[in-house]
Every structure is written in C-alpha cells, then in structure tokens.
C-alpha cells in the first residue's frame, strides 16, 4: 500500500468512526462537532465528492443531537 492509499484509508476510517461516535451519546460532545467542522472546513474542495446521503445523515444528526445546546439550557 503506497502513501496515498494509506492516507485515503485513514480518512475513510476517521469518517466511519466519527459517524459511529455521532450515534453514541457518550461520545457526541461539543469537541466531536468541532473536529467534524474542522474537517469540513479543511476539505471544502472535496465536499462535492461526499455522497449526498452522508451529508443528509450528518445534517439530521446535527439538528437532532447538538449536545452544547442541551447543556446550555
């Protein structure tokens, strides 16, 4: 496996694990949202390559489960 393939594999694992973490209330923290926001910001040019169902899933999760809003109330 060359360097590019290893980086792509790590990116896939990272996204997969972040999506899993969004399902876990114990891991779904403001820090997780900051990490996701940072990844999106750093990879703006690649957003078009993300499947629309993944973006829809993330949007729904953000709307339904924003921990810092619950903590602030």
Do 57 and 50 form a contact (C-beta atoms < 8 A)?
no
Quote the domain boundaries for residue 32.
3-72
Domain count, the chain: 1
Per-residue pLDDT for 3 more than 80?
yes
- Using a cut of 0.85, tell me whether the model's pTM lies above it: no
Rounded Cα gap, residues 63 and 6, in angstroms: 33
Is the separation of the CB atoms in 19 and 62 below 8 Å? no
Mean predicted confidence (pLDDT) in 4-14: 89
Section 28-35 average pLDDT: 84
Share above pLDDT 70 across residues of the chain, in percent, rounded to a whole number: 86
- As a whole number of angstroms, the distance between CA 7 and CA 63 comes to 30
Helix, strand, coil fractions of the chain, as percent rounded to 5 = 80, 0, 20
Of 52, 57, 53, whose CA–CA distance to 36 is shortest? 57
């Amino acid at each position: 496996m060359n360097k590019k393939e290893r980086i792509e594999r790590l990116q896939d694992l990272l996204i997969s694990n972040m999506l899993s973490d969004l399902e876990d209330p114990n891991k779904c923290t403001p820090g997780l949202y900051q990490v996701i926001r940072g990844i999106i910001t750093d990879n703006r040019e690649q957003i078009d390559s993300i499947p629309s169902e993944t973006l829809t899933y993330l949007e729904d999760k953000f709307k339904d489960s924003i921990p810092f809003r619950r903590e602030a109330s």
